[in-house]
Amino acid sequence: MTATRALSEFIATTRLADLPADVVARGSLILADCVGCMVAGSGAPEVRRLLAVEAGRGEPSASALGTHVRLTTDAAAYVNGTAGTWHDLDEGNLSTRTHAAIQIAPAALAEAEARSLTGPRLLEAIILAYEASARLWRATQSRLAVHPHGTYGPLAATFALAKLRGDGPSAIEAAANIAMTLGIAASRNTLNDGATVRNIYSGHSGRAGFQALALRDAGFTGEADAAASVLGKIYGSAFDPAAVTADLNSTWWIRRNYFKRFPAGRYAHGALDLVDDLAAQLGSRLAPELIERIDIETFFLAATMGQQSVRTPFGCRFSIPMLVAQRIAHGSIPLTDDGTHAFADPAVRALATRVFVSEDKAATAAYPERQPTQMRVVMRDSRTHAVSSERILGESDRPLPSGILEAKFAALTEASWGDAATTAWRDLIGITDIPNVGRLLEGWRAICRAT
């Protein structure tokens, strides 16, 4: 039996009632966090222009979140998925190296809305697709040059859509083998270049999920074991099918996800946490003009974000020197900040050239169970300050303080939904009590301030 077949049977036969209570609760939090990210991203000018391109094509049946507009289901998944990664605030999972939810939630929401499905069915599909797709990518020795979004994503979205349609194992497997070949050339170098095409990768995942099901229903077929072929030979250099199904139904990788509090690449968050720790100690004494240099030692993947200059404002989110310099110079910034201010600030750019990031091999060996980061700040008066941490704030074993996620949701949705964000948050956290997802999203369109 292939790994895809085993996962297809797992998805087809598992019900929400079978899931541990904490997994269900985690899934609700993840869905709420994704919705906040999608609503916030809908305000970006590029996303608005993309929405205008997609509007009016076909019979509208699903919402472009954060607006009054309805689109076809695949277009809604495409636009909402793109919006969801725009501010780089979507959840992820270091243990599986995925951002699974933002590949899945846009398509699943569109399908559930169009078919007036219940909240429990929506959440069930999201959790099962998350677990299955995260296991596949975790079993892949992926190439460093490959950005994970848009790779396993079409398969992840397909799993959720097939579950929502009530497909059996054979039908899910057939669609999955097609979907696995519908990924894109998702280059990680888009981060270094600050190229916003990176943001459509997740949008593509959702749209491709609908395409995979349409192709299957039209009689198209996929490779017999597409996951092993594509993940092991194209996106990765090896694939371990046994790792996919190990402890299935007992180990839930969704439990290990993280939530973000900074609009930045996850690997930079350890250093940003340390800036906050040091700022709490030094106050105004931590100022760009008073700093001679900063040395950061961390795990390998974080060290890949050590470039001291960037080409675009968007690129600031993937440069630890620029992010650290911005945090020191500007302090707390809005979650939807686009990097323009920092990019144009001579003080930020100058300090970034004095921030040096290097790999600590011991930290790399500890990763991902721990994410060790050390920071040493040398002041121009020759005094030094050192801070370190073992885990990034927001990891499952170092969770965000109570209320932070709800406050994040409010901040991300306030421009579109105003005070109604509180009700939307409660509905999402209590999604298992929602009888009709279509009516829920109809309510969101009604309260929306944007056009």
pLDDT by residue (tens digit) across 248-300? 999 999 999 999 999 999 999 999 999 999 999 999 899 999 999 999 999 99
Mark whether 373 and 426 lie in a shared domain: no
Q: What confidence score (pLDDT) does residue 51 get?
A: 97
* pLDDT lower than 70: segments of the chain: 450-451
- Per the structure, how many domains does the chain have? 2
Please report which helix (H) or strand (E) contains residue 163, including its range. helix 153-164
Query: Are residues 36 and 153 both part of a single domain?
Result: yes
What pLDDT does residue 449 have? 81
pLDDT in tens, 18-74: 999 999 999 999 999 999 999 999 999 999 999 999 998 999 999 999 999 999 999
Let me know whether 354 and 417 are in one domain: no
pLDDT value of position 450:
60
d(CA 310, CA 51): 28
Do the Cβ atoms of 205 and 150 come closer than 8 Å? yes
Q: Is residue 395 part of a domain?
A: no
Tokens of 147: 């950005």
User: In which domain, by residue range, is 295 found?
Assistant: 266-389
Distances (CA, A) of 181 to 142, 239, 450: 16, 15, 37
Are residues 12 and 96 both part of a single domain?
A: yes
Q: Indicate whether 396 belongs to any domain.
A: no
Provide CB contacts within 8 A for 62, sequence distance 6+. Answer: 70, 71, 72, 73, 75, 76, 77, 109, 110, 111, 113, 114, 441
Assess whether 270 and 204 both reside in one domain: no
Amino acid present at 355: V
HSE of 143, CA atoms in CB hemisphere, 13 A: 16
The pTM (predicted TM-score) of the whole model is 0.97
Is 400 among the domain residues?
no
CA 412 to CA 415: how far, in whole Å? 7
Instruction: Please compute, for residue 389, the number of CA atoms within 13 A of its CA located in the half-sphere on the CB side.
Output: 18
> Would you say 146 and 191 are in contact if contact means Cβ atoms under 8 Å apart?
no
Q: Please tell me the predicted confidence (pLDDT) of residue 404.
A: 97
| 13 plus 82 within the same structural domain | yes
Both tokens of residue 439?
């009516």
Residue 56: predicted pLDDT: 87
- Check which CATH number belongs to the domain holding 289 and give it: 3.30.1330.120
Do 302 and 376 belong together in one domain? yes
Same domain, 325 and 200: no
Tell me the C-alpha distance between 152 and 138, whole Å. 11
Q: Is 232 part of a structural domain of the chain?
A: yes
If asked whether residues 426 and 340 sit together in one domain, one would say no
